[in-house]
């Protein structure tokens, strides 16, 4: 069984602490689409979605970039 990646929880902690600049920097270097989707789900579950527009925009932009087949990041 695969171990869950703690990346989304760590970025969520940065967002909750108010350090959005560091959170956006981490979002820009997200390991995978799955991790970004987990972060988006966690933001929605904690009702933080929409509170910081720049964080929401960074998540959506990087989801689009990582989902594009020609911009795939190598592991």
Residue-range domain boundaries for the chain: 23-67
Q: Is the pLDDT of residue 30 over 80?
A: yes
pLDDT given at position 73? 59
Q: Is the pLDDT of residue 24 over 80?
A: yes
Backbone angles phi, psi at 74, to 5 degrees: -75, 150
Please report which confidence band the pLDDT of residue 51 belongs to, taking 50, 70 and 90 as the band edges. confident
Which residues, 6+ apart, have CB-to-CB distance to 66 below 8 Å? 30, 32, 33, 36, 72, 73
Length of the chain: 75
Average pLDDT over residues 16-20: 91
pLDDT given at position 28? 93
pLDDT given at position 65? 86
Q: Which residue has the tokens 């959170």?
A: 23
């Amino acid at each position: 069984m695969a171990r869950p990646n703690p990346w989304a929880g760590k970025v969520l902690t940065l967002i909750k602490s108010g350090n959005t600049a560091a959170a956006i920097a981490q979002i820009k270097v997200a390991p995978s689409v799955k991790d970004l989707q987990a972060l988006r789900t966690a933001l929605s579950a904690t009702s933080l979605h929409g509170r910081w527009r720049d964080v929401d925009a960074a998540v959506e932009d990087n989801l689009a970039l990582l989902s594009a087949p020609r911009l795939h990041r190598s592991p």
